[in-house]
Amino acid sequence: MKVLNIQSYSHNPNKAQNSASFGGVFSAFRESYEGLSKKFKGGSVDYFEKFEENKDKIDEDYETERKKIEDKHRLFPGRHLRRLDDVYKGQKDAWRRDQEAFEEAKRQHLKDIQLMLDQAEKYNLTLEEVNKLKSNFQVTQSVLDLAQKQQKANSNTGFSKIAGYESEKATLQNNFINKVFEEQSGVPVDIPNAILFFGPTGTGKTTFATALAQEIKEGREPVIIDMTNEPDEIMEEIEVMTRRARKDFAKTKERTLILLDEVEGIAHKDSEVLDELKAKITKASKEDKCTYIMTSNNPHLISKDILTPDRVKFLVDVDPPDEENTLAVSEYYFKNLEISGLDYDKIAKEFSKPRPDGVFSNSGIENIYKTACTNGVKSTEDIVALIKKAKPNITQDDLAKYEESKATLLKGGATDE
């Protein structure tokens, strides 16, 4: 899975966070103050450099190298692939460490500003300079408080209920969830009008979209629009919910998240409500104080006029799980069997084996787990046997259609001629 059109930020933990050098000399303090003021951009906590290792590039390089190995070593690729997997895992681990450094850097930022406030008092800075520092401190503290509140409320909901996909969760956390927290703290930030999760049936699009909302809403689900209604009825319900969203934001400063499941039903090029939907999405964030979280099994059917950067900023492709995520999902479910000595690697490898009849999605793995619960399995071999007998829930034909649909989407959406 990839999150497209999202910039990631990085912090090098080896770089000193506090560029100030206080030697008891006022001029040195002022020089440091001016440097940090530029660095922290007047109150925004987005002061980190871009990641040196972009997660998407790591994935793309991995797939390229894997294909080279499979082409070159057709008979015995195993040893070479294992070596590549080790390198890939190391790169992903480094990426995650950068994410952890991101949060630590915010805390260090607070310490830096507190030190500067102390020095400001000592050296009698102007009221304007002190207020700027205080604002920066208060905003960062508020964002951290909201994040801690979020983590506590979501211990059994949100992303904690989704196994794997750690880098994608971190990207959404840093580039959407934290933005919403900044908005709640009074920082003027740009929040996207809409996010689209797309993928084959059963990969967890709706689950992921709901979890994203729960991360922000302290475990509460998003506003769910009944997409089985007639298009005009759907738009009427959206209008009611956006009016409520504006009122709620005026009272609480909390934005509303609205789930549009299988949005292609009203977002295709011949939809009778397409123009109305375009208008609603365009003004969602700034005027209606909401963000639409949309899902689609057939993204190629969505009008290209919907899929513009100003309307749908983030595209999240929820593909069938790769080997790393298959392992995480397998362990997440099968550990509940409480069978000692289960070989999760072996179970995951069985799920990931190429099969002519298709591939297993996340829900497919869950279904095998449910079968194991009722079949009295006692070992890794019993589970592997169940997997071998099971029919993958995504056929090769469905997978091919999805890949074609995905390619059309990434070229700009459905042709509207």
Yes or no: say if 102 and 10 are a contact pair by the CB < 8 Å rule. yes
Hey, what CATH topology would domain 165-318 get?
Answer: Rossmann fold (3.40.50)
* Position 317 confidence tier, pLDDT thresholds 50, 70, 90: confident
Closest among 296, 239, 298 to 273, alpha carbons compared: 239
- Give the 3-state secondary structure of residue 73: coil
Task: Judge whether residue 37 has pLDDT over 50.
Answer: no
Distances (CA, A) of 194 to 226, 269, 276, 325, 372: 18, 18, 15, 26, 39
For the segment 388-397, the average pLDDT, to the nearest whole number, is 93
Full DSSP string of 240-253 = HHHHHHHHHHHHH-
- Give the 3-state secondary structure of residue 200: coil
Distances (CA, A) of 341 to 327, 329, 382: 15, 17, 13
- Quote the tokens at residue 23: 């030697």
The pLDDT value recorded for residue 167 is 78
CA distance 194 to 205: 15
The pLDDT value recorded for residue 360 is 94
CA distance 221 to 7: 26
CA distance 113 to 140: 10
Planar angle of CA 277, 282, 287, nearest 5 degrees: 110
The pLDDT value recorded for residue 123 is 59
Domain boundaries, the chain: 31-151, 165-318, 323-398
Percent of the chain with pLDDT over 70: 69
Task: Say which residue, 58 or 388, is predicted with more confidence.
Answer: 388
Percent of the chain with pLDDT over 90: 37
φ, ψ of residue 105 to 5 degrees: the values are -65, -35
**Which of 116-130, 250-264, 346-360, 396-410 is least confident?**
116-130
The pLDDT value recorded for residue 275 is 96
Alpha helices in 174-230 (DSSP H): 178-184, 205-216
Query: From 1.10.1130, 1.10.8, 1.25.40, 3.30.450, which CATH number describes the 323-398 domain?
Result: 1.10.8
SS3 per-residue string spanning 91-160: HHHHHHHHHHHHHHHHHHHHHHHHHHHHHHHHHCCCHHHHHHHHHHHHHHHHHHHHHHHHHHHCCCCHHH
Task: Judge whether residue 173 has pLDDT over 70.
Answer: yes
Closest among 191, 211, 182 to 1, alpha carbons compared: 211
- DSSP tally for the chain: helices H, then strands E: 15, 8
- Quote the tokens at residue 414: 């459905």
CA distance 390 to 234: 39
Residue 53: CA count within 13 A, CB half-sphere: 17
Q: What is the number of other CB atoms lying within 10 angstroms of the CB of residue 178?
A: 24
CA distance 13 to 181: 24
DSSP state of 190: -
Q: What is the number of other CB atoms lying within 10 angstroms of the CB of residue 70?
A: 12
The pLDDT value recorded for residue 99 is 64
Task: Judge whether residue 155 has pLDDT over 60.
Answer: no
Task: Judge whether residue 361 has pLDDT over 60.
Answer: yes
Strand pairing of 49-50 and 9-10? antiparallel
The pLDDT value recorded for residue 6 is 36
**Which of 78-92, 97-111, 276-290 is least confident?**
97-111
**Which of 31-35, 86-90, 133-137, 222-226 is least confident?**
31-35
The pLDDT value recorded for residue 66 is 80
For the segment 329-351, the average pLDDT, to the nearest whole number, is 93
Task: Judge whether residue 322 has pLDDT over 80.
Answer: yes
The pLDDT value recorded for residue 52 is 43
* Position 55 confidence tier, pLDDT thresholds 50, 70, 90: low
The pLDDT value recorded for residue 124 is 62
Burial class, 44, CB count within 10 angstroms (exposed 0-12 / middle 13-18 / buried 19+): middle
